[in-house]
Amino acid sequence: MATLTNHQWRLAARPAGAVKPTDWNFTEEPVGSATADKLLVKTLYLSLDPAMRGWMNEGKSYIPPVEIGAVMRAGGVGKVIESNDTRYKAGDFVYGTLNVQEYALMTGKELSPVDSRLAPLPVYLSALGLPGLTAYFGLLDVGKPAPAQTVVVSGAAGAVGSVVGQIAKIKGCRAVGIAGGADKCRYLRDLGFDVAIDYKNSDVKAALRDACPKGIDVFFDNVGGEILDIALTRLARHARIVICGAISQYNNTTPVKGPSNYLSLLVHRATMAGMVVFDYQSRYPDAMREMAAWMQARKLKSREHIVEGIEKFPDALSMLFSGENMGKLVLKVAAE
């Protein structure tokens, strides 16, 4: 096999605040060959996620930070090019932490199969991938909504939020989404949300009061900051707040804005719980089966916002923080 060249985005510096171009190095090296225990995988699609910003910071979190000089971590869907592993053959589609590079050498254990007949490949980074699984377990296991209860989700037009709202509807709940801009709100209504609140152009507090006359039973928070604080003022008794992320705070250079209204937890006997999807790994297959069935029944829609070209990685990532993407942000690295 002719020697292939691998282009890679490596972390050059730990960013302070928003990520700058100088925080990255775009590097090039020859690709190794498959070995007895490593398969060679060609990257097709990479998942771009708000959590990536956290991985760039030093310090303990739910997974170790990306080291300076290392290829940036990213989940992706790829195609097996060379394999000595009996579980995978050349041409198979796989999911794994391929990182931001054109080729990856991976063990079979680090990969899971992807069935391109069931859904288009980018969907495996979206509704049938970690964002969808995060929505599924976060809402159902942590939020525990009962039929007819009110579920409110922030970052509702994002990869996680859009699935949260749709699963809420599937479970017989009232779904209220908060997103930025008229286009995103239209998208939420298309997905079946009962109410879409445009935080950029409306009084969120008043809108939440109107949308949730009996209060919020489940608040699924992807955003943090001001919106979390407003939601805390509208809780129903025994409300559950699912802390999934806080994209409004990830680029802070000042301390994170803690929820000033947290004593509302006491007033309303409410609970705020953090969740990390990796804890549910043993249940991924069942959840994916259920979500695939919902997709086939057209109860669950997945939408991807695809940016093409590995060289676009830094610009594409920053779209998450300016709120430019609608649906799951995916970087297309190569054609299938």
Q: Which residues are at the interface with a second copy (CB under 8 A)? A: 60-62, 224, 229, 243-246, 249, 255-276, 279
Q: Yes or no: say if 135 and 144 are a contact pair by the CB < 8 Å rule.
A: no
Least distance in angstroms from the C-beta of 278 to a second copy: 10
What would the DSSP string read from start to end of 197-238?
Answer: EETTTS-HHHHHHHH-TT-EEEEEESS-HHHHHHHHTTEEEE
The residue whose two tokens read 């699924």 is 220
Nearer to a second copy, 274 or 285 (CB): 274
Least distance in angstroms from the C-beta of 260 to a second copy: 4
Nearer to a second copy, 170 or 272 (CB): 272
Give the tokens for residue 334. 């190569």
Nearer to a second copy, 240 or 301 (CB): 240
Least distance in angstroms from the C-beta of 188 to a second copy: 24
Least distance in angstroms from the C-beta of 176 to a second copy: 21
Nearer to a second copy, 73 or 169 (CB): 73
Instruction: For residues 272 and 124, give the distance between their C-alpha atoms in angstroms, rounded to a whole number.
Output: 29
What would the DSSP string read from start to end of 292-328?
Answer: HHHHHTTSS---EEEEE-GGGHHHHHHHHHHT---SE
Identify the CA nearest to 94 among candidates 38, 52, 11: 38
> Is 247 strand, coil or helix?
helix
Least distance in angstroms from the C-beta of 99 to a second copy: 22
Nearer to a second copy, 150 or 264 (CB): 264
